Amino acid sequence: MKKGVSLPRWVTDYLGMAIVLAILLAIFGYSARNFFSLPTFKMIASQVPDITILAVGMTLVLIIGGIDLSVGSVMALCGAMLGKSLITWGVPLPLAIGICMLTGLLCGAVNGLVTITWKLPAFIVTLGMLEIARGATFFVTGYRTVDTATSLDFITETTIAGVPMPFVIAILIVALGQLVLSRSVFGRYMVAIGTNEEAVRLSGIDMRPIKVTVFALCGFLAGVAAVIQTARISSANPNVGVGWELQAIAAVVIGGTSLMGGRGSVIGSFFGVLIIAVLSTGLDQIGAEEYIKRIITGAAIVAAVILDYYRNRLSAAK
């Protein structure tokens, strides 16, 4: 162990991603018009909260060695319940938001319970939920977009010390998620389950409630994301969130969480979301052709993961 490279762990953990982010900002700052401006950062801040919140849930599920492919559809279903109860069924706002989040919680709990009860792979169970939740969304909305008018504007328009509320909520959820993961017994158990489930079982810990809780939490967070997403586009769209599970997984993996479980960081996932958001915003601002956007986004995901590999070797060598 050389004295010169012994940086604090949180620096080495996030340094790689911070560098990627800085490089992206530099590239777009140079090539895109008005990229380095307050409106750009305001815009990114208004667009990342929903996917950030999904990514937090996904991080937790991946850490216990699971996966949740249903988050995009569940978010759409929660949004549909919110829009429908608010506009069509005339439910008061706080109750409608409650229904929305409860829907997410239920979907997540079902995912967890089915996975645990029959010892099934989460991959296939949540793939089933992806279909079921999308079908339910179509049923609830009758395939039609629900115009939520101005009823949710307060969410996007409220600012806390100049920062839009959705962004504050997302940051709070990231912080909470990281605290639970690294500073609580529950979090320790999660990592243990993801590292070696059998060992946890043999040491006499009933891990089933923990697993169900994590899946339920992931569903609940999809409900929270739905409120913010619906508010952002002032409507509940039945086709929203298609493919978001993969976006969330990409962000989480860029952030250094292992797909195999047992290792991960919520803050890392937030960095992952930011990298993808900056990349896509920059490409949109340049007005790049669709095929270029796709190729660059794909390459960036792979590059970020390769970088993470070297960071791991670096910290393992210490």
Partner 1 sequence: MNKKITAIILALCLSACATGLIGCKRVVDSGKPRVALVMKSLANEFFKTMEDGAKGHHKANSAEYELVTVGIRDELDVAQQIKLVESMIAQQVNAIVIAPADSIALIPVCKKAIQAGITVVNIDNKFDDEILASRDVKIPFVGPDNRKGATLAGDYLAKKLTKGDKVAIIEGAPNAFNAIQRKLGFEDAMKRAGMNIVSSQTAYWETDRANKVASAMIVAEPQLKAILCANDSMVIGALAAVKAAGKTGDILTVGFDNIAAVQRALKEGRILCTVDQHADKLAVFGIEYALEMLSKGGTPKDRETAVDLITAEKLK
Residue 35 vs 189, nearer CB to partner 1: 35
Residue 40 vs 103, nearer CB to partner 1: 40
CA distances from 156 to 150, 164, 237 (A): 10, 6, 17
Minimum CB separation from partner 1 for residue 46, in Å? 6
Binding residues among 129-158 for partner 1 as defined by CB under 8 A: 134, 138, 142-147, 149, 156
By CB under 8 A, is residue 49 in contact with partner 1?
Answer: no
By CB under 8 A, is residue 232 in contact with partner 1?
Answer: yes
The three-point CA angle 61-250-299 to 5° equals 160
CB 63 within 8 A of CB 194: yes
Q: Please count the residues of this chain forming the interface with partner 1, following the rule CB under 8 A.
A: 40
| Piece in contact with partner 1 (CB under 8 A), picked from 17-25, 232-240, 251-259, 303-311 | 232-240
Binding-site string for partner 1 from residue 212 to residue 231, where x marks contact by CB under 8 A and - marks none: -----------------x--
Element at 110 (helix H, strand E) = helix 93-117
Binding-site string for partner 1 from residue 6 to residue 45, where x marks contact by CB under 8 A and - marks none: --------------------------xxxx-x-xx--x--
- Of 46, 195, 258, 312, the one binding partner 1 by CB under 8 A: 46
Beta-bridged to residue 236, according to DSSP, are: 146
Alpha helix (H) ranges present in 207-289? 208-232, 244-254, 266-286
- Furthest-apart CA atoms within the chain: distance in Å: 66
Binding-site string for partner 1 from residue 236 to residue 275, where x marks contact by CB under 8 A and - marks none: -xxxxxx---------------------------------
DSSP string for residues in 140-209? HHTT--EE-TTTTHHHHH-EETTEEHHHHHHHHHHHHHHHHHHHSHHHHHHHHHHH-HHHHHHTT---HH
Beta-bridged to residue 160, according to DSSP, are: 163
Binding-site string for partner 1 from residue 165 to residue 204, where x marks contact by CB under 8 A and - marks none: ----------------------------------------
CB 268 within 8 A of CB 256: yes
By CB under 8 A, is residue 52 in contact with partner 1?
Answer: no
Residue 12 vs 235, nearer CB to partner 1: 235
**DSSP code of 86?**
I
By CB under 8 A, is residue 290 in contact with partner 1?
Answer: yes
Tokens standing for residue 58: 């996904």
**DSSP code of 241?**
T
Q: What's the rounded Cα separation, in Å, for the pair 219 and 100? A: 11
Q: Which residues bind partner 1 (CB under 8 A)?
A: 32-35, 37, 39-40, 43, 46-47, 117-118, 134, 138, 142-147, 149, 156, 229, 232-235, 237-242, 280-281, 284-287, 290
